[in-house]
Amino acid sequence: MEKKRKISIIGSTGSIGTQALEVIDKIRDKFEIIALAGGSNVELLKKQTEKYQPKLVSSSANPDLLEGNHNAKILTGMNGLEEICSNKENDIILMACSGKIGLRPTLKAIENGIDIALANKETLVMAGDIVMAKAREHGVNIIPVDSEHCAIHQCIKDISQVDKLIITASGGPFLHKTVEEMKNATVNEALAHPRWNMGRKITVDSATLMNKGLEIIEAHHLFGFDYDDIEVVVHPQSIVHSAIEYKDGSVIAQLGLPSMHIPIQYAITYPERYEGIKSKSFSFAEIARLDFEKPDFEKFPTVKLAYNAGKIGGTATVCLNAANEEAVFAFLDGKIKLYEIYEITKKIYDEHKVIQTPTIDEIFEVDEKIREKTKDYIAHLIQKVL
Ligand code: MG
């Protein structure tokens, strides 16, 4: 009999986590769930725990609320996540949480030789050099869940023969809107992504194209390519999820309907493939056309800023990520306008003194400092307007 794959999900109540459980529901006999961990939605986490009966469950909120019809050991906080990631029973851990919370547990899992299905961008944007070096040292596979990187992972056969990575971007809801319309966009307009159904923070990042900027940095670390060999192309239909160009000019792309279920399933079942979540067969005739265009870096300057941060390296990307995230939160709270996300991020970024090879503790220190500085600056901006 085929051995069940033992999996834990960090961030099981979020957008990627709930979709991962939908994937697992379709191929339930392939998996044993070791642990689930969630954020503030304790009610959903409790329901999941009662349904999947994991051995461990961890909540960042009040763990007492997790008591229920299950035998899972209840854990809490960062210690809870680290205990899950130290459990060597795991064959793979899906890092589906968003934000910096994913970094320490990911390192813990790597140290314990556990493979990672990585959906958490911040892990590589903040500490890509450290994480990838540790993964190599411990012989751990990091399989990307992000659709673009998952696509590249599927295309690459012999990485030494690849010249260039081509990352596609849908262009978000403002692709063909004027700069003026984009400047005055409401939160709801920014959250109305034409192709992908994702969490709120990443959806705003997709509207400003910062998400693409962060993905370039992610790709650099995952595949070890120079920034000059990573290209972005706008592809509004989101059917071609990314591509690679071989030395001889041959281009291999990965295509599929825009559903996160597919990359999630690929990452957690790799290298096996199952029918699982597949709902219908792909039809070129139904799709009829695929469009591509050059990204407009004047309208979406975030991408240029990300290339710059990536090339500088060190804590430049930590700063970029932290300042952007705080500015996105301020936008979601209705405190600033959409275009101010870039202006604020750029201002904080320009003032940052980069540490070239930071330790993990230094990375977290810089992250904290930049967040405080960004919040202060936003408060000062609001004060000025009132
Ligand atoms: Mg993506």
Contact 264, 16 (CB under 8 A): yes
The predicted structure's pLDDT at residue 1 = 60
Retrieve residue 44's tokens: 């959903």
pLDDT band with cut points at 50, 70 and 90 for residue 283: very high
The predicted structure's pLDDT at residue 193 = 76
Ligand 1 centroid to residue 72 C-alpha, Å: 33
Query: Is pLDDT above 80 for 198?
Result: no
167: left (phi over 0), alpha (psi -120 to 50) or beta: beta
pLDDT band with cut points at 50, 70 and 90 for residue 183: confident
Ligand 1 centroid to residue 242 C-alpha, Å: 10
pLDDT tens digits for 340-372? 999 999 999 999 999 999 999 999 999 999 999
Q: What percent of the chain has pLDDT over 70?
A: 99
Ligand 1 centroid to residue 240 C-alpha, Å: 12
The predicted structure's pLDDT at residue 92 = 98
Ligand 1 centroid to residue 281 C-alpha, Å: 22
The predicted structure's pLDDT at residue 361 = 97
Which domains can be identified in the chain, with CATH numbers? Answer: 5-145 (3.40.50.720), 149-259+285-385 (1.10.1740.10)
The predicted structure's pLDDT at residue 99 = 86
Q: At CA 106, angle to CA 372 and CA 312, rounded to 5?
A: 55
For ligand 1, a single-atom ion, which residues have Cβ within 5 Å? 146-148
Cis peptide before 271 (omega within 30 of 0): yes
Query: Is pLDDT above 90 for 16?
Result: yes
Ligand 1 centroid to residue 147 C-alpha, Å: 5
pLDDT band with cut points at 50, 70 and 90 for residue 142: very high
pLDDT tens digits for 79-118? 999 999 999 999 999 999 988 999 999 999 999 999 999 9
How far is residue 74's CA from residue 236's CA, in Å, rounded to a whole number?
44
Element (H, E) at 58: strand 56-59
Retrieve residue 180's tokens: 């003026």
Contact 370, 323 (CB under 8 A): yes
Report the pLDDT averaged over residues 125-141: 98
Cis peptide before 263 (omega within 30 of 0): no
Report the pLDDT averaged over residues 182-208: 86
Q: What percent of the chain has pLDDT over 90?
A: 88
pLDDT band with cut points at 50, 70 and 90 for residue 196: confident
When the pLDDT of each residue in the chain is averaged and rounded to a whole number, the result is 95
* Dihedral angle computed from the Cα positions of residues 324, 200, 107 and 306, in that order, rounded to the nearest 10 degrees: -30
How far is residue 310's CA from residue 307's CA, in Å, rounded to a whole number?
5
Query: Is pLDDT above 80 for 160?
Result: yes
How far is residue 183's CA from residue 258's CA, in Å, rounded to a whole number?
27
**207 closest CA partner among 170, 259, 260, 240:** 170
pLDDT tens digits for 42-72? 999 999 999 999 999 999 888 889 999 999 9
pLDDT tens digits for 199-228? 888 899 999 999 999 999 999 999 999 999
The predicted structure's pLDDT at residue 320 = 98
How far is residue 122's CA from residue 127's CA, in Å, rounded to a whole number?
8
